[in-house]
Amino acid sequence: MEKTKILLDEDEMPRKWYNVQADLPTPLDPPLDLGTGEPVGPEALAPIFPMELIKQEVSQEKWIPIPEEVLDIYRLWRPTPLYRALRLEKALKTPAKIYYNWEGVSPPGSHKPNTAVAQAYYNMKEGVERIATETGAGQWGSALSFGTCLFGLECMVYMVKISYEQKPYRKVMIETWGANVLPSPTNTTNAGRQILERDPECTGSLGIAISEAIEDAATHENTKYALGSVLNHVLLHQTIQGLECKKQFELIDQYPDVIYGCVGGGSNFAGLFLPFMGDKLRGEKPDLQITSCEPMACPTLTKGLYTYDSGDVAMLTPLIKMYTLGHDFVPPPIHAGGLRYHGDAPILCKLTHDGFMDAVAYHQTEVFKAAITFAQAEGIIVAPETAHCVKAVIDEALRCKETGEEKVILFANSGHGHFDLAAYDAYHNGKLVDYEYPVELIKQSLAKVPKIE
């Protein structure tokens, strides 16, 4: 009899994070100073990040120990289950085997606490009293407020305005764990005021919210900044997902042929695929296929430019090498959840640019159709973000039906959609409209990207 779920015991939980930088064939391009164009060192990050996270950001060590205090909190929900989607396979009549790791069992309901807890811990250890951050769909904001609550820190969340309005229950979660949350752009920061002067009806973007949060951290002595995606140390903390998953596949003597995940900044998918990518980079699994799934309305990997750009609208961050749609890109107010960032994680972008993985983009109506197929087969209502890779999985499973291939498919099921039911309701009532971001607007935004020789 086939197992529906593969479980690890608490004592089998990984005790170290995996750092893919140790296995990259060539190193990441360094962050650059906006003014001089010269590489910046760790000292440039000291005003906004605690030193231990800065060390992790630049570390070339393959394994980074997970502190016991972090492991103690991880045990509230980890190890997470690996599911075999037997009912979906049956519904699709596919010979493929479909698996997913389920991160919706965490208290905030997503993968985000894997790094939120770690970042709150390191800030607490260095005497930080308050953390400022941004959030798109609210998953990161709720996860960080959960982490700061457990370590006794204050938290200020700048939430993209359209998500603040679309997802009120994420706001309630943030406040329940003791944090403060404002719709971004706000009138409380210079960056926010400048945006509102130009566009009083601005619906916000992650780039704007990041500018506000960084400005907040830089202007308060007791405050540091925390980011829920993109940066190397964030992806590092998320690798506990893939490390657990590899152990679970070993228990059933299986290994994935193809891995899918949704990508906005890259943290949830990278957390799953990076430990498997290590096998590919070392030549142990050269045929492994890894594919990022993003929305047509914010097609960073599929239509963006691979170049240096700022991580925020106000250009307060160092320039980083990534696929970008331009730092002043403001996505349309679609229901794609948090997949609205103008850039992506440098590690993920480099692996994509160098040909180790690829990317696809989907319209929101086909994505929700796939999510409903999954819900009616497996019972889980996934987050709109996750629905993008569910679409890819179903397409691949149907291809296997045509070819007769018994591929092993794995995808990152990064969180539940219980606070996104308004989006599902809009889909059911025919109110969701497909939107493909115009190439001309992308060109206009990319024209403002800094020119680095």
Instruction: Answer whether residue 177 shows pLDDT above 90.
Output: yes
Backbone φ, ψ for residue 258 (5° rounding): -145, 140
User: Do residues 397 and 413 touch, judged by C-beta distance below 8 A?
Assistant: no
* Mean pLDDT within 242-250: 98
Domain containing residue 363? 5-10+67-109+233-446
Do the domain assignments include residue 387? yes
Name the most confidently modeled range: 168-172, 310-314, 364-368, 446-450. 364-368
Band the pLDDT of 205: cuts 50, 70, 90: confident
Q: How confident is the model at residue 46, as a pLDDT?
A: 86
What percent of the chain clears pLDDT 70, i.e. is strictly above it?
98
Question: How far apart (Å, rounded) are the C-alpha atoms in residues 414 and 382?
Answer: 8
Instruction: Answer whether residue 318 shows pLDDT above 90.
Output: no
Do the domain assignments include residue 196? no
In this structure, the strands spanning 258-262 and 289-295 are: parallel
| The pTM of the whole model exceeds 0.85 | yes
Instruction: Answer whether residue 298 shows pLDDT above 80.
Output: yes
* Mean pLDDT within 304-332: 85
Mean of the per-residue pLDDT values for the chain?
Answer: 93
* Mean pLDDT within 269-291: 98
Q: How confident is the model at residue 314, as a pLDDT?
A: 66
* Mean pLDDT within 433-437: 82
Do the domain assignments include residue 182? no
Do the domain assignments include residue 372? yes
Instruction: Answer whether residue 133 shows pLDDT above 80.
Output: yes
Q: How confident is the model at residue 333, as a pLDDT?
A: 64
Instruction: Answer whether residue 151 shows pLDDT above 80.
Output: yes
Do the domain assignments include residue 202? no
Instruction: Give 125's contacts (C-beta < 8 A, 6+ positions apart).
Output: 50, 52
Do the domain assignments include residue 209? no
Question: How far apart (Å, rounded) are the C-alpha atoms in residues 335 and 87?
Answer: 27
* pLDDT digit string, tens, across residues 376-419: 999 999 999 999 999 999 999 999 999 999 999 999 999 999 98
Q: How confident is the model at residue 167, as a pLDDT?
A: 81
What percent of the chain clears pLDDT 90, i.e. is strictly above it?
79
Q: How confident is the model at residue 276, as a pLDDT?
A: 98
Instruction: Answer whether residue 335 shows pLDDT above 70.
Output: no
CATH number at residue 294: 3.40.50.1100
Do the domain assignments include residue 208? no
A 10 A CB-CB count for 380 gives 18
Instruction: Answer whether residue 35 shows pLDDT above 90.
Output: no
Do the domain assignments include residue 291? yes
Domain count, the chain: 1
User: Do residues 263 and 304 touch, judged by C-beta distance below 8 A?
Assistant: no
* pLDDT digit string, tens, across residues 19-29: 999 999 999 99
Q: How confident is the model at residue 338, as a pLDDT?
A: 62
Question: How far apart (Å, rounded) are the C-alpha atoms in residues 322 and 29?
Answer: 9
Instruction: Answer whether residue 359 shows pLDDT above 90.
Output: yes
